[in-house]
Amino acid sequence: MSKDSPSESSPSESSDGTWKPAKPSLIQLGAIALVALLAVTLVLYIWRFFPFSDDGPYTDNAYVRGYVTTLAPEVSGHLTNVLVKDYETVHEGQLLAQIDPASYAASVEQAVADLDAAKSDLANNAQSQASAVATLSARQAALGTANAELLRAQGDYARSEALVKEGGVSIQERDTALAALRSAKGALAEAQANIKVARADVRTQEVAAQGLNAKVQQAKAALDSARIQLSRTRIVAPADGQLGRVESHVGRYVGAGTALFSLVETDRWVIADYKEAQTHGITLGQTAHFEVDALPGTTFSGIVERMAPATGLEFSAMTADNGTGNFVKVPQRLGVRIAIDRDQPLFERLRPGMSVEIRVDTDSSE
């Protein structure tokens, strides 16, 4: 072939003079096929289709979760001591900060004094009640004596009345016996009236004792409340964990409910939001493996612990209304809670909020 003859891949003219496109070379065809293969492979990898599907449903819509507790005082006052710093690890019951306890300690002392006074009043009432009971007993004895005197006077009068008719006694003696009878009746009536007064006095003291007992219980409750308020000036860690940023300082005035610290407890788990179509093979007890962006190359394992009772849309403030005629089907997601084994290396490096890529092994079970 001469140097000037057209190559196989260059454009040429037909015998009638029309233009024809050049045929692609084998290298060009191979390059196009390679690019197409790479594109298909990338799509299969991104969407986790075969042969990249592995075993079980995958999602990157997942995060590490944990309990984040805001610590706030239940009483107000000035901070006299702040014993922790940013991101410090603390233990359950550890003192974090102290509110000035002076006024609350004074309230406890006042409550103690009020309780002592209430107990003293109750003790005095007990003495008064005992005295009233003794008086009632004495007057009951006097009533018995008055009854005996009345019986004796009645007998004396009856005998004198019989004898005066026979001339055995004088009329004057009979009249004396009659006067004695009348006096005995008066003494009995007085004794009966005294009994009523004594019984009323006993009842009054018993009612007073009930009121004083109530005051003692009220004073005890006030003392307990004052002691609780005093104890609340100590802000302690409710559980083991790690603090966030500490913005409090000595001298700051804080009111009840003022956020002072954020405590991240040591428990960790993963919440993975799977598309509803991915959850058909997920059951409780299956093994899951996941990675976090902060620890590349480290794979953690866990167990499917619980599944959400409804999709995320059902928990939203405004649920969808599909009766308007503008329905568009949107795949919903179901939350899956994954328990994490605490004994794994680097478990303590997991932080709530970290992004997770997770896969559930649907062929496994607990």
In 10 A of CB 365, how many CB atoms?
A: 12
| Per-residue pLDDT at 363 | 81
Strands 355-361 vs 58-65: parallel, antiparallel or unpaired: antiparallel
pLDDT digits (tens, 9 = 90+) for 246-293: 989 999 999 999 999 999 999 999 999 999 989 888 999 999 999 999
Which pLDDT score is estimated for 338? 96
Low-confidence ranges of the chain (pLDDT < 50): 1-9
- Residue 358, Cα to own-chain centre: how many angstroms? 32
Q: What residue ranges do the domains of the chain occupy?
A: 26-55, 68-100+233-264, 102-231
In CATH terms, the fold of domain 102-231 is: Helix Hairpins (1.10.287)
List b or e across 279-306, with b for residues whose CB sees 16 or more CB atoms inside 10 angstroms: beebeeebbbbbbbeeeeeeebebbbbe
pLDDT at 260: 94
**Would you tell me which CATH number, out of the four given (2.40.50.100, 3.40.50.150, 3.50.50.60, 2.30.30.240), belongs to the domain 68-100+233-264?**
2.40.50.100
Helical (H) or strand (E) element with 336: strand 333-340
Which H helix or E strand runs over 288? Answer: strand 287-292
Instruction: Identify the H or E element spanning 37.
Output: helix 26-46
User: What pLDDT, in 10s, does the model give residues 101-120?
Assistant: 999 999 999 999 999 999 99
Q: What is the pLDDT of residues 79-104, one digit of tens each?
A: 999 999 999 999 999 999 999 999 99
- Decide if 68-100+233-264 and 102-231 have a common fold: no
Q: How far is CA 206 from CA 96, 133, 202, 343, in A?
A: 51, 10, 6, 67
Q: What pLDDT is stored for residue 290 in this prediction?
A: 96
Q: Kindly state the tokens that stand for 287.
A: 């093994």
Could you tell me how far CA 282 lies from the centroid of its own chain? 33
